Amino acid sequence: MNPKRAGRQKMMSYSLAGLILSNPIATKAASENGGYFLDKGKQEMTTNREERQVLKLIDEKPVSQAISAVAWSPDGNFVVASGSSTLHVTVWDARSLSVARVLDQGFGGDGGSNVAFSPNGRFLASGLSTVNLWDPVSGKLIKALVAPHVTPGIPQEIGVRSLAFSPDSKLIVVAYDGKKRIVIAYRVDDGKILWTYEPRRVIGIPLMTTPIAFSTDGKQLVFGTGERGGPEVNLKRLSRVLFLNAESGALIRSIDDIHVMNPTTLAISPNGRWVATATSTGVNDQTSNMKTKQVVTVDNQDPVRIWDMDTGKLFRDLPVLSRVWSLAFSYDGKTLFGAKSDIQSHMTLAVWDIESGRMVQEIRSNPGPMGLAVSPDGKRLAAASQSKLVVYEIAASR
């Protein structure tokens, strides 16, 4: 399904000296919110003059191996983080931020959003190529889930792009990257595979480029994909949000053309009303058609976008000028947090007010966060910031 958006969303400028794609919405949104990018000299945490401070630093802890994914236990007692290639999963006591235990994943691979607690608190899942289910209290390995295309212990082009438990804790769904791009749903109790899904090609090889997430009612599985055409059709790109039936794995529908480049992340609001997406904003990409000698330039100025989960229509644009790595909604759904890339100012953590569509706070963090997670009580935000774990206090909404 390609939602009918207002004409402004499809406004793209084309120049056939080399086709240039741009989205003027983002430029307009940024200029209207002029001043939300702060002076380079300001330190740590600064807010807009007009807005309040939403996040306040509590503490940060250095790590020995880079982390990019983070999750809270359902009771809020533990924070866990891991990296895209590290074999270690570190579990912290959430109150003291002391290390409770370090888990060894055993087999290498390449991970993305690859740590999660089951909602009932019985399991902690992690994975790089195989997926391990741990007892979160004792740290004991309960079982390992091995996909049919994975051979443990042998170097392979395989990675766990993302994993997520269903709201009833009965399923764990894993998105695998590498030579085989596939989504597999396992039954938690016995590890049995219930269904698989491989994204179908529309214009090019589909890449799964965002975390996977269950809808709040557990009936749908949501994730983003990106495609680009081959040498004869490389003027085209397709970025989508796919909705699968969580029980069968069947494709229900999609929201198409959500960004001019691949989506990089997504998040679902706690009330299940919205799905937020982001992309590699600020990136300029050039390709050429070898057959026609045509040069194609894509200038990505897309904002963060919030979509209506039921209708697929665009609800809100949120201004940003750089790539966004991770998104997380506040507990009340009124605020969106974003981990973004800004190598010049290092303002790498953004806070948007959803009702107004304004960026109300930016936080300086270097290195910047790659993964974000809001605590179950909605009072803290954890950030996997590569060489450190950072925890912020979230101010109560007005």
| Nearest alpha-carbon partner for 23 in 312, 258, 183 | 258
Report the alpha-carbon distance of residue 363 to residue 44 in Å, rounded: 6
Biggest distance spanned by C-alpha atoms of the chain? 63
Degrees, nearest 5: CA angle 192-196-197: 165
Q: Which residue has the higher pLDDT, 19 or 45?
A: 45
Stretch (H or E) spanning 304: strand 304-308
CA dihedral 114, 117, 122, 125 (to 10 degrees): 0
Tens digit of each residue's pLDDT (9 = 90 or more) over 268-304 = 999 999 999 999 999 998 877 777 777 778 899 999 9
Tens digit of each residue's pLDDT (9 = 90 or more) over 301-316 = 999 999 999 999 999 9
Report the alpha-carbon distance of residue 316 to residue 308 in Å, rounded: 9
Domains of the chain with bracketed CATH: 68-198 (2.130.10.10)
**Whether the predicted pLDDT of 5 surpasses 70:** no
In this structure, the number of other CB atoms found within 10 A of the CB of residue 343 comes to: 9
Residue 15: pLDDT band with limits 50, 70, 90: very low
Q: What is the pTM of this model?
A: 0.85
The pLDDT, as a whole number, for residue 128 is 83
The pLDDT, as a whole number, for residue 3 is 42
Read off the DSSP letter of residue 166: -
Mean pLDDT, residues 24-37: 29
Q: Quick check: 213 and 180 in contact, CB under 8 A?
A: no
Tens digit of each residue's pLDDT (9 = 90 or more) over 351-395 = 999 999 999 999 998 888 999 999 999 999 999 999 999 999 999
Mean pLDDT, residues 76-85: 89
Average pLDDT of the residues of the chain:
84
Mean pLDDT, residues 147-156: 83
| Nearest alpha-carbon partner for 71 in 17, 124, 130 | 124
**What b-and-e string marks burial along 99-136, b requiring 16 or more CB atoms within 10 Å of the CB?**
ebbebebebbbbbbbbbbbbbeebbbbbbbbbbbbbeb
The pLDDT, as a whole number, for residue 33 is 32
The pLDDT, as a whole number, for residue 358 is 94
